[in-house]
Chain A
Amino acid sequence: MNDVAICVFASGTFDKATQGLAGAGRRLANEFGGQLKAIVLGANSQLLSTELVKLTDDVVVIPQNDYEPETSLDALTQVCRKLAPRAVLFGNDTYSQEVTPRLAHRLGGSAVGDVTEFHVQGDALRVSRQVYGGKAEAVIELKRSPAVIWSRARSFAPADPLTTPGQITTAEIEDHDIRHTRIIERKREAQGELRLEEARVIVSGGRGIGGPEPFEAELKPLAELMGAQLAASRAACDAGWVPPTWQVGQTGKKVTPDLYLAIAITGASQHMAGISEAKNIAAINTDPDAPIFKHCRFGIVEDYRKVVPLLREKLEAMQNSQT
């Protein structure tokens, strides 16, 4: 079969990642000459399905209350066996990353993660991804079918709506005797409702911030003024200044904002691996030779303690003069 299936978890919303996933899925389906299907996991998925069906040829809903590693994997396997797609695409959330290799194994396919680009060469599917902490880029050919992939979904162009939308069906899932791993507690530490991966503007602080207090007193008001989400480098998270969920980089979140403002971040390749798909990077740093500036659209060589309060003043004045 030449169809492509995209998989989303209903705990998410119809965000830019889901739209980008549908866009990448449609492009790939066109190259294979097949249809684009969507698999939505979650009983409470009506909103998401209604939006997705405008972009895909069919939506299959898995009526499971919530994600749970073993039962969700089993249900996805059953649906994918029926659909028999050439490729199954996921976004870059926790559950997608967890499911991808195991689903590939069960379907006899090949998995690959953190994909930034797809290339179809004859019958073969090749993907690009960063390796060595963002210092190099590899093109990888998947040898088995289906290809099961998670990608930096938000960086792909969204799908165009269809003139005649597809249909929404509910999958019938057979109950299998599975040893469960039950999620007994969930805790959100996110700021507001938006995932960092979805943020359009990010203000991020590094080791040079010096402690937890300036994040609260300096960076937070700046982020609020800019309508930005706060993030941090590994050094700042490891030091315990901010929660680990804020961490951007190879070992943290891979983000794709329109503007990433890096404050007192040197820009080690480990960190850059998380922001390589950002549209614009800007930096405030005392060291003109800091690697971060090599990736910047614009920047300032100054102590952030002097720049940030003044910058807040300027931005505030500009916003006031507009209204």
Chain B
Amino acid sequence: MNILVCLKQILDPEIPAREFRIDPTKREAERGAANLVTNIFCENALETALQFRERTGESTITVLCFGAATAEDVLRKALAMKADNAALVINDGNPHPDPLTVAIVLSAAIKKLGSFDLIMVGREAGDWGAGQTAGLLAEELKLPCVSFVDRIETSNGKLHLKRQTDTGWEILETETPLVVSVTNDEHNVPRIPKVRDVMMSFRQPLTQWTLEELGINAEEARVGNSYYEVVELGIPQKESSCEFVAGDTLDEKVETLAKRIAAVTASL
């Protein structure tokens, strides 16, 4: 199977809230000392693809990224994790284009890269968390789509996709080609690449395209807000007014705690 995995580079979502700053005029987060990392759900998608290749053999995995020049790191890491090919579309416009712009750019790049049986993306990104790439990409490519997948198997020439739901899980039987969004579970924790493979990855070829080279409306993609636009960004102020339950002994404290709980739940 020919598999394509889309990857996004984001500001490290693990930075603590007290170090998190925004630029309200640019309406984006300030990088500060934070690292740029691969979005975790994108790595879950890549890991799911790698495991699928290991189980079934004979699959080729291509990774694709639309981002700033720094996003080359994300693709090199994916190559070190043993993806076969990598392509980067350089974003020299709006650093946070709207979801439709992303889908238009990715679908043009995918068509240019060839034909794929399975296109995989993370369920959402740890920065803006729109969670729309899979759905919009499927519509741009006129393909079916299944969300929140955590495992992919083959059965009689069809795919069996296990996906998480509100209340448990479902298995869907599908044919290829299609788009899936991948969520995390205990089985698709991304592997750590070997040092040797990291070194090797820097010698592997990496395709780079400008927006013009995709044959899309590059100016519109650079503006990137014809679908929606962020008009305000702020940090919500949380006042700390926690009542630490008082008491001289543990017993007294827990007594107060029980009363507070009862007061809140009794009014239900």
- Interface, chain A (partner B; CB < 8 A): 69-70, 93-94, 97-98, 100-102, 105-106, 110-114, 126, 130-133, 135-144, 179-190, 195-197, 200-201, 226-227, 238, 240, 244-245, 250-251, 253, 258-259, 261, 268-270, 280, 282-284, 288, 291, 293-302, 306-307, 310-311, 314-315, 318
Q: Is the CB of B253 within 8 A of A302?
A: yes
Q: How large is the interface on B (under 10, 10 to 19, 20 to 34, 35 or more residues)?
A: 35 or more
Q: Is the CB of B254 within 8 A of A188?
A: no
Q: Spot the interface stretch: B56-64, B141-149, B210-218.
A: B141-149
CB of B93 within 8 A of chain A?
no
Q: Is the CB of B228 within 8 A of A102?
A: no
Contacts A142-B228, A306-B250; A298 near B257 (Cβ below 8 A): yes
Q: Is the CB of B245 within 8 A of A102?
A: no
In the complex, A132 Cα to B263 Cα: how many Å?
Answer: 34
A185 to chain B, nearest CB (A): 4
Kindly count the residue-residue contacts between A and B in the assembled complex, taking CB atoms under 8 Å apart.
252
Q: Is the CB of B22 within 8 A of A136?
A: yes
A210 to chain B, nearest CB (A): 18
Chain A residues, CB < 8 A from B192: none
Q: Is the CB of B20 within 8 A of A240?
A: no
B228 to chain A, nearest CB (A): 5
Q: Is the CB of B20 within 8 A of A139?
A: no
Q: Which of A98, A100, A136 contacts B234 (CB 8 A)?
A: A136
Q: Which of B11, B169, B240, B244 contacts A187 (CB 8 A)?
A: B169
Contacts A132-B20, A195-B166, A300-B254; A250 near B261 (Cβ below 8 A): no
The majority secondary structure among interface residues of chain A is: mixed
Contacts A250-B126, A298-B257; A188 near B172 (Cβ below 8 A): no
In the complex, A284 Cα to B260 Cα: how many Å?
Answer: 13
Q: A98-B145, A253-B166, A314-B254 are in contact. List 11 more A-B contacts (CB 8 A).
A: A102-B139, A105-B136, A132-B11, A136-B22, A138-B232, A238-B186, A244-B186, A245-B166, A258-B268, A307-B254, A311-B254
